[in-house]
């Protein structure tokens, strides 16, 4: 009798697990089996990632100096075409695999011209994702290549070639056009969003200056065309990001330099605004890295060090003063950091974070040198930037003091909670509810109708503060916010501890009419 292994309520025989249970997924089958591993998700973000993967190849051609025009067209039937005037994917027979290089690129994972370094110096594609993945996740794909004086083409269904690469009519020039239709059985939706496409391609255009990008929507419900062409690089990008914000200084800092030691191109632009939050955008070979990585670490280190050095040198910071913190020097900052390197190492298939340590060294060295010169040559800008940083530092210290006051008050008073709070008698947070109501009159009515055992009532003045646009010190000086923090019991900021939450149900009560809608909230304070 076979030995049994118990997994919870389910029993399986050890003898059932044998060689026949081992699956080998060939070709593009792994992509269809686990699409999320390759494009992040099967929702709208993953759907649009298909366009980005094809477009990345076109931008790689542009960065290599072989293309200057890219056309993206949203077609009827949820199809998309991406065309460039680059060199065109090779169509000659590959010696090892005995098929056209075009078919190889379209049907084999990790096939492309970006490994050996001969095809591209830098590239944004690859890392397990590329046009072959788009092919795998599409019901239909057509690849057309203008090369060697002819048009070459091949069609695919569910990643499988429908015929050999065909040699068509004669044609001048060169380039590649990929048309694909996402598989509706894989994606939650196959409808592409115009704004999402526009925003991404605008961003890419800023990162590859001097390239014309045309986006056309030929779907019946909305026919439109948009085009981008920027000469200013990421400096233009920063101006765009800040066009609705009040800038602290007129000039946008900009540096583009090749770091010989690491063979990395470093491009940085920044400008401070009156905002309280930082906006940082990091890119590697034109690929957005939402989690930052080595280049962001290098940028932050250089920024904090150089601003502190300048402030000390000019006597803005005295000997007795503490250094400005990283948070102080980044408040209100809009910055774009872009690096281009040969062999990018990303953490994760979707390239969210750059791992190359040499990128940190390159960015830190190039940016530090350029920022030092900029501050010396633009004293008015330097004064405006340091003024912003010093105010942020002062606010940080005030916020810490206010926070400590709130926390001390909560700790010292213990069960002596805010005077307006009508607490419940039960002390089990799982069973307790807190009702937040607007005004004393509403609070009185709520108190009369509550169950004193598990329902607590906290009246608050309406429209207390727009915390999204306020610093922490101002937030914590507000009595209504103080009362709310103490009543909930979780502390705030670095001291936040969800385990100390006194009520596991918090209900925000509003009037049952349109006028009461302003009291509702969609996110926690």
Q: What is the CATH number of the domain that holds 86?
A: 3.30.565.10
- The answer, yes or no, to whether residue 321 has pLDDT greater than 80, is yes
Which residue did the predictor score with more confidence, 90 or 464?
90
Mean pLDDT for the stretch of residues 74-100: 93
Output b/e per residue, 83-115; b: 16+ Cβ within 10 A: bbbbbbbbbeebeeeeebbbbbbbbbbebbbbe
Interatomic CA distance for residues 333 and 311, integer angstroms: 18
Higher pLDDT, 489 or 377: 377
Percent of the chain with pLDDT over 90: 61
Segment 517-525 shows an average pLDDT of 43
Total domains in the chain come to: 3
Specify whether 511 is catalytic: yes
| 495: pLDDT strictly greater than 80 | no
Closest alpha carbon to 456 in 402, 418, 411, 495: 418
DSSP H helices in 356-423: 357-377, 379-413
Q: What is the CATH number of the domain that holds 454?
A: 3.40.50.670
φ, ψ for residue 181, nearest 5 deg: -125, 110
Specify whether 151 is located in the same domain as 291: no
* Domain assignment of residue 320, yes or no: yes
Residues 297 and 269 in one domain: yes
Exposed / middle / buried, residue 393 (Cβ in 10 Å: 0-12, 13-18, 19+): buried
Q: Domain boundary residue among 228, 259, 282?
A: 228
Average pLDDT value for the chain: 86
Task: Please tell me whether residues 368 and 249 are part of one structural domain.
Answer: yes
Q: Are residues 371 and 435 in the same domain?
A: no
Q: Are residues 202 and 341 in the same domain?
A: no
Handedness of CA 410, 413, 414, 416 (dihedral sign): negative
User: Greater confidence, 129 or 132?
Assistant: 132
Q: Is 513 a catalytic residue?
A: yes
Q: Which pLDDT score is estimated for 40?
A: 84
Instruction: With a cut of 70, say whether residue 315 has pLDDT above it.
Output: yes
Task: Tell me how far apart the alpha carbons of residues 354 and 298 are, in angstroms, rounded to a whole number.
Answer: 12
Higher pLDDT, 202 or 17: 202
- Mean pLDDT value of segment 230-246: 94
d(CA 177, CA 193): 21
C-alpha 106/C-alpha 381 separation (Å) is 51
Question: Of residues 231, 260, 428, 515, which has the active-site annotation?
Answer: 515
DSSP states of 41-56: -SSHHHHHHHHHHHHH
Residue 142, both tokens: 């057509």
> Is residue 139 within 8 Å of residue 85, measured between CB atoms?
no
Sole residue written with tokens 């005995």:
98
Are residues 239 and 223 part of one domain? no
Which segment of 92-96, 186-190, 400-404 scores lowest on mean pLDDT? 400-404
Per residue in 9-25, pLDDT tens?
A: 444 444 454 344 434 44
Catalytic residue among 331, 423, 438, 480: 438
Indicate whether 455 and 389 sit together in one domain. Answer: no
Is 61 inside a domain boundary?
yes
Return the pLDDT at 25: 45
- Tokens read off for 222: 């909305």
pLDDT at position 405:
67
Q: Mean pLDDT throughout 444-459?
A: 88
User: What residue numbers bound the domain in which 339 lies?
Assistant: 234-393
pLDDT surpassing 60 at residue 386: yes
Same domain for 118 and 84, yes or no, is yes
Distance, CA of 48 to CA of 195 (rounded, Å): 11
- Per the annotation, the verdict on 321 as an active-site residue is no
Lowest mean pLDDT among 421-425, 454-458, 488-492: 488-492
Q: Which residue, 213, 228, 243, sits at the end of a domain?
A: 228
Residues 6+ apart with CB under 8 A from 281: 203, 237, 241, 288, 335, 336, 337
Give domain status of residue 70, yes or no.
Answer: yes
- Assess if residue 15 is contained within a domain: no
438 is annotated as an active-site residue? yes
CATH code of residue 310? 3.30.230.10
Predicted confidence (pLDDT) per residue in 170-195, tens digit: 999 999 999 999 999 999 999 999 99
279-284 and 333-340 strand pairing: parallel
Q: Model confidence at 128, in pLDDT bands (50, 70, 90)?
A: very low
Residues 374, 471, single domain; the answer is no
pLDDT at 523: 39
At residue 209's C-alpha, the angle toward residues 58 and 146, to 5°, is: 25
In a shared domain, residues 363 and 428: no
Tell me: pLDDT of 384 over 90.
yes
Last residue of a domain, one of 179, 212, 228: 228
Residue 272 lies in a domain: yes
Same domain, yes or no, for 370 and 223? no
pLDDT tens per residue, range 332-374: 999 999 999 988 999 876 678 999 999 999 999 999 999 999 9
Shared-domain flag, residues 328 and 432: no
């Amino acid at each position: 009798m076979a030995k049994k292994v118990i997994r919870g309520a389910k029993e399986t025989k050890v003898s059932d697990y044998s060689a026949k249970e081992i699956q080998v997924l060939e070709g593009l089958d792994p992509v269809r089996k686990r699409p999320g591993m390759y494009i992040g998700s099967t929702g709208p973000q993953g759907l649009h990632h298909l366009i980005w993967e094809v477009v990345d190849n076109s931008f790689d051609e542009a960065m290599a100096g072989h293309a200057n025009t890219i056309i993206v067209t949203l077609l009827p039937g949820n199809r998309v075409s991406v065309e460039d005037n680059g060199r065109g994917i090779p169509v000659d027979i590959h010696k090892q695999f005995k098929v056209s290089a075009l078919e190889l690129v379209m049907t084999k994972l990790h096939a492309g011209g970006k490994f050996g370094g001969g095809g591209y110096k830098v590239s944004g594609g690859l890392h397990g994702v590329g046009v072959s993945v788009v092919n795998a996740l599409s019901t239909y794909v057509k690849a057309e290549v203008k090369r060697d004086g002819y048009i070459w083409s091949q069609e695919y269904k569910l990643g499988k070639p429908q015929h050999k690469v065909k040699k068509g009519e004669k044609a001048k020039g060169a380039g590649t056009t990929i048309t694909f239709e996402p598989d509706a059985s894989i994606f939650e939706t196959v409808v592409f969003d115009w704004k999402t496409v526009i925003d991404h391609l605008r961003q890419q255009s800023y990162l590859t200056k001097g390239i014309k990008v045309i986006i056309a929507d030929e779907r019946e419900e909305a026919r439109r065309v948009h085009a981008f062409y920027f000469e200013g690089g990421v400096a233009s990008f920063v101006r765009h990001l800040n066009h609705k914000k009040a800038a602290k200084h007129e000039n946008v800092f900009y540096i583009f330099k090749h770091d010989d030691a690491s063979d990395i191109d470093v491009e940085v632009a920044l400008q401070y605004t009156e905002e309280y939050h930082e906006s940082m955008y990091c890119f590697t070979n034109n690929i957005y890295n939402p989690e930052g990585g080595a280049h962001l670490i290098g940028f932050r280190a250089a920024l904090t060090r150089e601003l502190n050095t300048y402030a000390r040198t000019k006597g803005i910071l005295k000997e007795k003063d503490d250094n400005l913190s990283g948070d102080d020097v980044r408040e209100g900052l809009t910055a774009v950091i872009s690096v281009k390197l040969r062999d990018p190492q990303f953490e994760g298939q979707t390239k969210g974070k750059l791992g190359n340590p040499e990128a940190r060294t390159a960015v830190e060295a190039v940016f530090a040198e350029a920022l030092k010169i900029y501050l010396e040559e633009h004293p008015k800008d330097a004064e405006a930037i340091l003024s912003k940083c010093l105010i942020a530092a002062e606010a940080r210290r005030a916020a810490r003091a206010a926070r400590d006051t709130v926390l001390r008050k909560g700790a010292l008073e213990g069960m002596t909670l805010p005077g307006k709070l009508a607490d419940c008698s039960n002390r089990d947070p799982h069973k307790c509810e807190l009702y937040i109501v607007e005004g004393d009159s509403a609070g009185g009515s709520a108190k009369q109708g509550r169950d004193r055992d598990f329902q607590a009532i906290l009246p608050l003045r309406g429209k207390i503060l727009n915390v999204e646009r306020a610093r922490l010190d101002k937030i914590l000086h507000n009595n209504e916010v103080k009362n709310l923090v103490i009543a909930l019991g979780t502390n705030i900021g670095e001291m936040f501890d969800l385990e100390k939450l006194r009520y596991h149900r918090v209900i925000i009560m509003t009037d049952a009419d349109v006028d009461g809608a302003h009291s509702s909230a969609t996110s926690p304070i």
